[in-house]
Each structure stands twice: as C-alpha cells, then as structure tokens.
Structure 1
C-alpha cells in the first residue's frame, strides 16, 4: 500500500505492507531513528511521537493509519539548528543518561507544556508516568521539564 504523511514538515510517500507499524516505517524506511523501539507494546513510551498535535505510540499504530497525518519526531523539534527549549533544558539539567527514553519523554513533555505552561512537579510526574526510564530515576527529567516551563513563562 502507498502511505503519504508529513514528517517534521516534509511530505513522504512510501510503499508498505498493511501490517507494518508506523514506528518501523518511520525508522527503517524514512530514517527517523529517534523513534525508539523498546517494548513494542505501547508500555514503555520510547516510540512516542506527535501525531496531528497529540502524542501517540508509534509502535501501536499501523503506518496506514497515519495516512495524511502530520507527525513530529524528536528530529523535528529543533529549529534552524537550534535545540528546542525542552531539548536544551534536558541537556542543561542532565535529564538524560543513555538517551533511549529521551525522544518519548520530550514528546510527552512538549504536549504537557502546550496544555499547561506552568505544571507542578506532581503534574509533570503524572504526565511522564507512562514513559519508562531505567537510568535517571526521573528526578533530573522532572527538573528539566520544570526548568523549561519556567523559561517559557
């Protein structure tokens, strides 16, 4: 099947099997390797992207379901070579270690800050609770999101 979608502002058309996941299409066919595959069941959040303005688990979607969609991956967060404020905050506040969970955390945090520009620590923790991190213990991730929120206010 042919699938046409817009990823990080660029339109792509790709041939894919009807059962191919969106994560596999993005990673393997289109080269957006920032879409990480962890559990492949939608539990870990590593594959989280923004799909038509809302976060979604790319491993749980078929590529054909994204026909005509607007997708943003971690590669599309930066603008003109400048890191997105959340990316910069994660860098400045040590919100990553191995980096495997980072793309999903960034997508989740960006959605949170669009909906609530001044979240409390509890609200941040609640929102990222669906994204698993095995390295950081979450505190630096929470600190990074909180710092980005303060900069935006």
Structure 2
C-alpha cells in the first residue's frame, strides 16, 4: 500500500512531467495520465471470470482481480480446508497444489490461474478413504491443534513427488545421487510449513513412513 507521503510524491512527479504550455505534447501527456488512472479504477472495480479445475471439478469464478487464490477458495467457493494463517506467505498454512506444484495460495491471485488444476486438502482424501499421508499423520500424531495440518499434508504430498522426480534440496549431499530421506532432508523440504504446536518430529516420521512405502 502506498503511504500518503509516497502518494503525494508520485502525484507531484506526474504534475512536474506535464509541459507548462498548452501544446500538443501537454494535451497528450494529460490524456495519457487520465487514461491510466481510469484503467486503474476499472481494474480495481471490474470482476473477472476465471475458470479453475479444483479437485477434479470445474468452477467458474467471478471475482475482483485482486482476489487471492486463498480467498477465492475460502470465501467464494466455500472450500475452507485451506487455512489462512499469516496471509503473507510465511507460515504455509494455505499451501495448495497447482498443476502438480505446491504454492502458497495467499501469495497468488486467482485470476492468474485460469485453466489451472488446483488440489486442496479436500481433494486428497475423504473421511472414509484417507490418503496415505493423512493416515500417517493420524498414526504418528503429526498434529495437535490441526490448523496447519491441511497445508502440511498438501505440501508433503507435492514434496514426495519432487523426490520421485529426483529434485535435490539445499541440504542434499550429492546432486546426482539418490535422495536419502534423512531427518534433515525432510525438514529442509518442509521448512516452508510452520507448526506452532511443534509437532515436527512426528510430522517428519509420518512423511518418512509414506516415502518408504510403509503402511499405517
């Protein structure tokens, strides 16, 4: 958000750029500025149609262009499994999977994902048919309050696919060797997801169990 001082400085710079005479250049400069301001107001006020495929189901979203993917999911589509924590991309509670990649849904606009496939916690399993990671989190007590759990599980789901694809992390000892799932490796790959209850050891164990093909 632009503060009052910064806004005044921008306006003053714009006025200074306008020639003092009534020349053709001056009229063009003013017209261009007026058009830009008008388009800015239009962009803020006009909703935009966005088509999203969420958990295999098509949705047509009609929302303000400033609507984040997180707010679109929760407030417009009623999918409240994805949580809003910090709303600044710092905690990972809002993690979802877009086209196979995990992202912080609070940091991206919904309109940027027209035609994309989005997977939320609701799409990973059901009460009667939990995903392997969901079962492992239950078996290993990988949560306490549970608020961060949807983001943790979405992140871990995509992270395991990254490992299968051979993507190294910052702590991988050898970029060309098979990835060893040490505590440090898993912790590094999940470092974008915070747990205020500090259930990290159990989260790591749950992820390792699934990665090694264990049953829960």
Matches within 5 A, 1:76-95: 76-78=123-125, 81-95=128-142
Q: Name the structure 2 match of 1:51.
A: 98
* In the alignment, structure 1 residue 120 sits paired with structure 2 residue 182: yes
Q: Contact 1:95 / 1:136 at 8 angstroms: preserved in 2?
A: no
Matches within 5 A, 1:3-152: 3-78=50-125, 81-117=128-164, 119-151=181-213
How far the C-alpha of 1:137 sits from its partner, in A, is 3.8
SS of equivalent to 1:151: coil
Task: Find the aligned partners of 1:69 and 1:89 in 2 and give their Cα distance.
Answer: 29
**What is the CA RMSD across the aligned residues, in angstroms?**
1.7
Q: Contact 1:6 / 1:70 at 8 angstroms: preserved in 2?
A: yes
Q: Which has the higher contact order (CA 8 A, sep 6+)?
A: 1
How far the C-alpha of 1:81 sits from its partner, in A, is 3.7
Aligned residues: 153
- Choose 89-98 or 114-123, whichever is displaced more: 114-123
Q: Please report the TM-score for the alignment, with normalisation by the length of structure 1.
A: 0.94
How far the C-alpha of 1:79 sits from its partner, in A, is 6.2
SS of equivalent to 1:126: helix
The structure with the larger Rg is: 2
Task: Find the aligned partners of 2:183 and 2:159 in 1 and give their Cα distance.
Answer: 12
Task: Find the aligned partners of 2:105 and 2:91 in 1 and give their Cα distance.
Answer: 11
Unaligned residue ranges in structure 2 (runs of 5+): 1-47, 165-179
Unaligned residue ranges in structure 1 (runs of 5+): none
Moved over 4 A (4+): none
Task: Find the aligned partners of 1:76 and 1:113 in 2 and give their Cα distance.
Answer: 17
